[in-house]
Amino acid sequence: MAGAQEELGSPLLQLQEIQQSARERRTNVSATSDNVPIDADAFEQEIVERARLLQSVLEDMSAFVSPPAVYLKVNSMLASGFDSASDFAQVILRDPNLTARLLKIVNSPYYGLPSAVDTVSRAITIVGMRDLTDLICSVCAVKSFSRISPEVTNMKAFWQQSVYSAIACKLLAKRLNDPDPEKLFIAGLLHNIGTLVINHRFPELAEQSLIEAAGNETVLAATEQRWLGFDHATLGATILTQWGLPESLCDAIRYHHDAPSAQHAPREAAIIQIADSLAAQAGFGGFPDLEGEFNELTEDALKLSGLVDDFSHTDLTAEIREQFGEVERVLAV
């Protein structure tokens, strides 16, 4: 790691070098003739440099963003389809803290079960291995990413916005009869984790981007793209791919600011975008200025998601608020 860091230099120096080299190549191209085709080799090299920067970010942040062994194991077991509920429970029980957190969530009003669940095996029977794996992902992700320095990011506000979006995603998915609303909960919870990483690795850039964005997340993403060659959505999706999340979920997170461009999950991306706007309108997150811009921000997303034109979010907002405090508490954010 140290050798890689020495080779790559400081993050800001990397950015300056990439931007300067890109400007020089563009100047050389435009200086000859407006009709001369773009130097394909030069711009291909720029793409390589930006990909190299992205890889360096992932490597430098691996201690924070790498998935825990217990999650990788249960996710692998679920994918194989050959392990019993008993084997599944034994893996979870190796982590007492995770076991306690999972049972706390399963017994919370969020699930509303009629009787207490006191063992992981019973939780698997009631909730199911797939949903329990999703819960493990949520708990592990919150724990892992909360270790990132809060110098630039207000972590309390960040997780409040994330939890609000997660609940909104799940409830919207249920309204649309999605077969797996829990997956949308995870998407909503983790859709902005790339922001945490960018804020930690490039704090000066993060502050400048927030100023330029002036409360508009689409502008924020465009500013990140201009400086880094990738935005927080792309970075977050790349990280979650390493966590083994489904391709469709990562695709939805990658394009939650541009749902029509999603290759595999445009409807899910639209749901995240709607949830994001609902959270902003409710006063959660880093952009309270977005309040009141619901229709402007999500008109296309509403159509893409399949929600009716006269969709009213009043009842949905009330339901989100009913669940918000409990989910925030059990996830310990």
pLDDT at 22: 47
What mean pLDDT comes out for the span 97-112? 86
Return the minimum-mean-pLDDT range out of 40-54, 186-200, 274-288.
Answer: 40-54
CATH number, domain containing residue 253: 1.10.3210.10
pLDDT exceeds 70 at position 1: no
Query: 322 and 279 in one domain?
Result: yes
- The answer to whether position 13 is within a domain reads yes
Transcribe 264-279 into DSSP letters. Answer: S-HHHHHHHHHHHHHH
* Shared domain check, 195 and 110: no
Tell me: do 56 and 97 sit in the same domain: no
78 lies in some domain = yes
Residues 170, 247, single domain; the answer is yes
Domain boundary pick from 11, 36, 60 = 60
137 within some domain: no
Summarised one tens digit per residue, pLDDT across range 303-328 is: 889 887 667 778 889 999 988 988 88
135 belongs to a structural domain: no
Better-predicted residue by pLDDT, 254 or 83: 254
Is the residue at 226 inside a domain?
Answer: yes
- How far is residue 38's CA from residue 36's CA, in Å, rounded to a whole number? 6
Interval 215-228: pLDDT, tens = 777 888 888 888 88
Residue 174 confidence (pLDDT) above 60: yes
**Last residue in a domain, options 129, 162, 177:** 129
Query: Residue 318 domain-assigned?
Result: yes
Q: Which of 215, 245, 219 is nearest to 232 (CA)?
A: 219
Q: What does the alpha-carbon distance between residue 139 and residue 302 come to, in Å, rounded to a whole number?
A: 30
Give the domain range for residue 199.
Answer: 148-330
Kindly tell me if the per-residue pLDDT of 192 is higher than 90.
yes
Whole-model pTM over 0.85: no
Instruction: Tell me the pLDDT tens digit for each residue of 247-276.
Output: 999 999 999 999 999 999 999 999 999 998
Distance CA 65, CA 239 (A): 7
Residue 269 maps to a domain: yes
Give the pLDDT band of residue 14 (cuts 50, 70, 90).
very low
CA–CA separation, 78 and 73 (whole Å): 9
Q: Does 40 lie in the same domain as 90? A: no
Residues 195 and 319 grouped into a single domain: yes
Instruction: Give the count of domains, the chain.
Output: 3
Contact 277, 188 (CB under 8 A): no
229-239 pLDDT per residue, tens: 889 999 999 89
Given this model, what pLDDT does residue 264 score? 92
One domain, residues 72 and 169: no
Above 90 in pLDDT, residue 186? yes
Mean pLDDT to the nearest integer, 190-201:
90
Q: Quick check: is 222 in a domain?
A: yes
Of 129, 158, 177, the last residue of a domain is 129
Give tens-digit pLDDT for 285-299: 655 444 444 434 567
Shared-domain flag, residues 178 and 295:
yes
d(CA 63, CA 219): 30
**How confident is the model over 31-69, as pLDDT tens digits?**
444 554 555 566 566 667 777 777 877 777 777 777 888
- Whether residue 175 is found in the same domain as residue 252: yes
Residues 6+ away with beta carbon under 8 Å from 237 = 194, 250, 251, 253, 254
Domain shared by 267 and 222, yes or no:
yes
Q: Is the per-residue pLDDT at 30 higher than 50?
A: no
**Direct distance between the N- and C-terminal alpha carbons of the chain, in angstroms, rounded to an integer:** 30
Based on the fold, state whether residues 80 and 21 are members of the same structural domain.
no
Domain check: are 33 and 87 in the same one? no
> What does the mean pLDDT of the chain come to?
79
Share of the chain above pLDDT 90, in %: 23
pLDDT for 9 equals 38
pLDDT value at position 232? 92
Q: What is the mean pLDDT of residues 149-158?
A: 79
